[in-house]
Amino acid sequence: MTSHSLFLLPGDGIGPEVMAEVEKLVHWFSKQGIARFETDRGLVGGSAYDAHGAAISEADMAKAQAADAVLFGAVGGPKWDKVPYEVRPEAGLLRLRKDLGLFANLRPAICYPALADASSLKRDVVEGLDILIVRELTGGVYFGEPKVIGTRDDGAHKGEKYAIDTQVYDTYEIERIARVAFDLAKTRKNKVSSAEKRNVMKTGVLWNEVVTRIHQTEYPDAALDHVLADNCAMQLVRWPKQFDVIVTDNLFGDVLSDVAAMLTGSLGMLPSASLGAPDARTGRRKSLYEPVHGSAPDIAGKGYANPIAMIGSFAMALRYSLNLGDWADKLDRAIAAVLAQGIRTRDIASDAMPANASTSEMGEAILKALQKIA
Ligand code: IPM
Ligand code: MG
């Protein structure tokens, strides 16, 4: 049996609590002889800062580079609000994305029928929703240079500060994320919506042009539409089921995926996969799996956190990195079964279905449901 190396970076806040539920699953898979895992763990975010004064150490970066998959919890919290910008907790995550070349971020938003009442939108708007946001993750305004705060040295505002962020996209960056979106669309309804702001931004004009060309030359059978990113946000809350795959840049993808998360009932439901280009020799992609939710410092350590986004991220690792797609399907079915049974953490509770499970109770219920399906 091949052995898979997993590098766990639980991070801060609720990260370690939700990661603990994935570790139970990893342990079960090994014990059952389904797959063999070698796990190692490191520090990222505030916990790494406290230990070594950096948002991630060089040693842990090397381990992340070498692993078959990185599982990431969450970073940040008020404790580190005042640390220098370069070593703030989020810098660890951004460095992992950049240095591992994880340009494609897949964020599926699925509304399980059992959770339609937990959403702030009406049941018929969200029930049965199944969309996929493909977010470009290593370019755009997150990484563009210059990125500075300076001081005006002349003119009417002399002595005042100014700030610059830079949005840059190269053609190859748009081409490769478009291909990921069209390839994934083929396995679904084969419909891609490309979101940008070509009415205001040059990067939007180029984005539109390149996605159109990739469609015409490589994926003529797919349906493609272009939507302005602000309109896309509006359409997501008006009638989200019109979408299948949404492809968009780093910043719009960040915002649109939080909107999409609420369609599923809770931010605690959304998993994600971040993938690099396939290695020319082995075909293997570098990868990192993380829940879309943050570190939720207000509820950390209380057992309130919903582990489903983290467990769903592990399911994505089984599918995209570990060649265990059938087990990913089973795990997704176990999550659906537990929700259908009425098991609820606080974030997905409703009047009809009050909260009745802690983080570990939810994790254990999913494991039990998986054992039954297996
Ligand atoms: C996300 C998060 C991150 C981002 C933060 C933590 C840097 O919001 O993954 O959506 O902005 O990309
Ligand atoms: Mg975000």
pLDDT score for 119: 87
Nearest CA to ligand 1 atom 10: 254
Q: In this predicted model, what pLDDT tens digit does every residue of 96-149 receive, in sequence order?
A: 999 999 999 999 999 988 888 888 899 999 999 999 999 999 999 999 999 999
pLDDT score for 351: 87
169 catalytically annotated: no
Ligand 1 centre distance from Cα of residue 198 (Å)? 24
368 catalytically annotated: no
Ligand nearest to C-alpha 72: 1
pLDDT score for 266: 87
pLDDT score for 84: 96
Ligand 1 centre distance from Cα of residue 292 (Å)? 8
pLDDT score for 118: 85
Find the residues whose C-beta lies inside 6 A of ligand 1: 90, 93, 254, 292
Nearest CA to ligand 1 atom 12: 254
CB atoms within 10 A of CB 301: 11
Angstrom distances, CA of residue 157 to CA of 2, 122, 146, 163: 64, 49, 21, 13
Q: Which atom of ligand 1 is nearest to the CA of 74?
A: 6
Q: Please give the single-letter amino acid code of residue 354.
A: P
Q: Which of the residues in the chain have pLDDT under 50?
A: none
36, β-bridge pairs: 3
CATH of domain 1-106+275-374: 3.40.718.10
258 catalytically annotated: yes
Ligand 1 centre distance from Cα of residue 254 (Å)? 6
Q: Which of 99, 165, 230, 329 is catalytic?
A: 230
Under DSSP, the state recorded for 117 is G
pTM score: 0.96
Nearest CA to ligand 1 atom 5: 90
Ligand 1 centre distance from Cα of residue 267 (Å)? 13
Report the 3 state secondary structure along 123-184: HHHHCCCEEEEEEECCCHHHCEEEEEEEECCCCCCCCCEEEEEECCCCHHHHHHHHHHHHHH
Ligand 1 centre distance from Cα of residue 149 (Å)? 21
254 catalytically annotated: yes
Ligand nearest to C-alpha 138: 1
Give the residue extent of every domain in the chain.
1-106+275-374, 130-263
Q: Do domains 1-106+275-374 and 130-263 have the same CATH topology?
A: yes
Q: How would you label 235-258 residue by residue, b for 16+ Cβ within 10 Å and e otherwise?
A: bbeeebeebbbbbbbbbbbbebbb
Q: Which atom of ligand 1 is nearest to the CA of 137?
A: 12
Ligand 1 centre distance from Cα of residue 156 (Å)? 36
Q: Which of 40, 130, 258, 329 is catalytic?
A: 258
pLDDT score for 117: 86
CATH 3.40.1350.10 assigned to domain 130-263? The reply is: no
Residue ranges with CB less than 5 Å from ion ligand 2: 254
CA atoms of 341 and 30, how far apart (whole Å): 27
197 catalytically annotated: yes
Angle at 274 between CA 330 and CA 10, to 5 degrees: 80
